[in-house]
Amino acid sequence: MKTPTPSPNRPNSFEEGTSDLSPPGGFHAMALAAAKLRIGRLVVAGFALSLASNLLLGAALMMKKPVHQTILIPSTVFDPAIPAWTFDEKGPDEAYLARYGVKLAALCTNLTPANAAGSIAAFLEHVSPETQAETALQLEKEAQALRKDDGSTAFYPSETAVSRTRLTVDVAGEFKTILGRTVVESKEKCFRLRFEHRSGRLFLTRLEEILRRDSDLPAKPR
């Protein structure tokens, strides 16, 4: 009995099945790969857009000139009425100048043989470098005279007048000269302090005694 020989031009049933049918997960795998590819492209595009935005934002911030302002808020324990002091790019405000001027005037007018050296050294830290040597010599002469006579001076500021445009502070108050324990003189004095705003710092350029009528203070009623 002869076994039928399959025709060379037609595959047998097994070969035909393998050629006509694909594995059931083939199309699903291809679709999943394509979806992943599209998601990957979207992620890359989003990252590139975010990076570009950050670069533009950084460039804009670098080009923008920063505005610096320092606000000093004093303690309200002792005097709640004291306002805050502001120091910005235009320099100190009136409140800052007034407090600063009174502080420096007190440093160089409240002198005793014991504290003269320390007060003068602290005062000179605020003086402009160009006038520091001359000011130090003048104050040291006054300190030597006080030590020789066992004297001291005391100043009690009571009024201030400030010019922010000219950077001047006029301080008036009672000035006392004391020898030993005796007050030998007590009178009103007025001092003018001139400042310079440079490199974000405030320097004292001149301190002089002036007449009240030459100051910015209001005239006293007669």
- pLDDT for res 194: 97
Question: What is the reported pLDDT for 53?
Answer: 66
What pairs with residue 55 in β-bridges?
A: none
pLDDT profile of the chain (222 residues), mean per 10: 49 44 53 58 62 65 54 45 68 91 95 94 95 94 92 96 96 96 95 92 94 94 76
Q: According to the model, what pLDDT value does residue 88 have?
A: 76
Topology of domain 86-211, CATH: Nuclear Transport Factor 2; Chain: A, (3.10.450)
Tokens of 138: 């003048």
Token digits of residue 58: 């950084």
What is the rounded CA–CA span in Å between residue 76 and residue 165?
A: 29
pLDDT at site 206: 95
pTM over 0.85: no
How would you list the strands of the sheet with 168-179, edge to edge? 151-163, 168-179, 182-198, 201-210
pLDDT of residue 199: 81
Q: Specify the residue for token string 């009240």.
A: 212
Task: Find where tokens 């005037």 sit.
Answer: 105
Buried b (16+ CB within 10 A) or exposed e, 140-170: eebbeebbeeebbbbbebeebbbeeeebbbb
